[in-house]
Structures are given as structure tokens and as C-alpha cells.
Structure 1
Amino acid sequence: MTATSREVVEQILRASREQNTETFVNLFAADGYIEWPYLPAGMPDRVEGRDQIREFLTARANGLVKFDEYRNTVIHETTDSEVVIVEYEAHGTVIPTGAPLHQTIVAVLRIRDGLVVSYRDYLNPLVLAEALAGIGNV
């Protein structure tokens, strides 16, 4: 039985928090993508396909931040059974500096046949820019 859109979002959040790259990537359709509409300059605004998503997570994202927990998570199911909106606060650490990180996120996901086809991540770019500046990447 195929997971519901809500169940897929719950699995994505768990894999993300645990930095379980393979589980995270395998929840995407082969041509699925992640998009960040508001990232600081120098960061990719979109990665597409399982291979690019895996490469991005392995080469850049997983070495940047370790999330300890997600708080105040609210999952909104919409009238379109494929679309789910999730709000949460991510609490963790900037790995290279040890500085704490608190990021508020709203994400819009489209799930089809139990796989993510699009993931639009509206994180706070100011928090990310500050974290990157602390390690000399921006």
C-alpha cells in the first residue's frame, strides 16, 4: 500500500532530522526536486533528481548543520491530496563553528504515488547567511 502524502512528509522530516541521506533521497521520485526560493547568493536554488539531491546532501548540507530536533511541527493537508504544507522550527548546530542554529521553515511538498515530486523549502535566508558567514562561505 502506498503511503499517504502526510505519511511521506512525516518520513521526510524524520530522515532529514536524522540526516539519513539514503532514506531521504529514496522518498523522492526519480525526477523530483528540492527548491529554495530565498537562499543567499552562492547557494544552489534547486537540485533535481535523486543523484543531484544525494550529491548536494553528502557534499554540502550534511557537513554544514546538524539538527537535534524539530519543534512546533504543524502539517497542513490541503484540498489537493498531493499537496502538503509543513511548518516547523529546526534547532541544531552549525557543525564547523559549533554555533547554535534556530531556523523557522515553511515547506510545500507535492507527493504523487508515495514519492516527493517537488519540495519547496521556504527557510529564513538571513539565518542561513549568518551561519555561512561564520564559516567563511558567504
Structure 2
Amino acid sequence: MTTPAQPAELFRHGLRLLLDKDIPAWVDLWDDDGLLTFPFAPPGWPNRLEGKGAISDYMRHYPDHIDLHDFADVTIHQTADPETIVAEMRGVGRLVASGDPFDMTYIAVVSVTNGRITRYRDYWNPLAVPQDGAADFAGRAR
């Protein structure tokens, strides 16, 4: 399959890759100098990942901590900038360590240039993650 070049299609493709737990393919959607930020990151969690290598390191073990089953309620908003979208969605699954349900609402602002993600601002609520699962994931993500 050819990787989509338009932001909305590329974003939806990336969600499918995350559900398939194909983290290397998801990372391949990124520009080498991509920037992933978490504006609401709590203390001890990264709030800025610069470059494809840092993003890959952060995401490498994601499926070992959060088992995503679905992205529900995905709505993608176009912006005045044709390279930038705003996405609203819910990630649904379970925390691997505890088996507890995982249901997180996200808003993401994503910019794509030349068919690659260049900037991704991930607005999620760290207070919504049970502390046991959050501690496991935070310890790995530092």
C-alpha cells in the first residue's frame, strides 16, 4: 500500500498501524526532524521528543503497556493551513500490566509536509490513566 500524502489520510493510516501494533511502520510516517510534543505531560514524563529516533525510542514498547483495540469517535477538522489538521478521538483498550480498561480522549494537532508528519501536538489527560499503568509507561518513556 502506498502511504497517503494528505494529512487526514496519513493520520487515519497511522491509527490503523497503531491498532495493528506496527510501531516501526508508524514511526516511518514521520519526517526525520519531526517534533512530538505533549503539552499536558505530568512531571517525570517527556513533554518534547525531537527527531524520528527519539520518537521511535519512546514508542518502541507502547504495545507492551497499552493494548489498543479501537480508535472511536474519530473526527478530523481541516484548518486554514492545508498541511495541518486537528483530530479528536478516543483510544480504547486495556493497560497490559493490570488488565484495567483504557479509554482516553485525545485531541491532536498534526502537521504534514511532503507526506511525512513534521509536528504532532498530543493533548491528552494524564490524570485519566490509572496510576499503576501510568507509572509503568512513564518509567519506560523517560
Output the TM-score relative to the length of structure 2: 0.86
Deviations 1:38-64 (A, max 9, x none): 1222111111211111111114x3321
Q: Which moved more, 1:43-52 or 1:103-112?
A: 43-52
The letter of the residue matching 2:63 is N
Amino acid at match of 1:10: R
Cα distance, 1:129 vs. partner?
5.5
Aligned residues: 136
Structure 2 Cα separation of the partners of residues 136 and 112 of structure 1: 30
Q: What amino acid maps onto 1:87 in structure 2?
A: E
How large is the RMSD of aligned CA atoms in angstroms? 2.0
> What percent of counterpart residues are identical?
27
Deviations along 1:80-123, one digit per CA (max 9) or x if unpaired, are 10111100011110011110011000000010111000000001
Q: Which runs of 5+ in 1 are unaligned?
A: none
> Helix, strand or coil for the counterpart of 2:98?
coil
Match of 2:108 in 1: 107
Match for residue 127 of structure 2?
A: 126
* Equivalence for 2:85: 84
- 1:30 corresponding residue in structure 2: 32
How far apart, in 2, do the equivalents of 1:43 and 1:27 lie?
23
- Structure 2 stretches of 5 or more lacking a match? none
State yes or no: 1:6 paired with 2:12: no
Report the counterpart of residue 19 of structure 1 in structure 2: 21
More displaced, 43-52 or 10-19? Answer: 10-19
Relative distance call for 1:48 and 1:99 in structure 2 (3 A) is same
Offset, 1:19: 2.1
TM-score (norm 1): 0.89
Q: CA deviation at 1:28?
A: 0.4
* 2:68 counterpart letter in structure 1: F
**What is the letter of the counterpart of residue 84 of structure 2?**
V
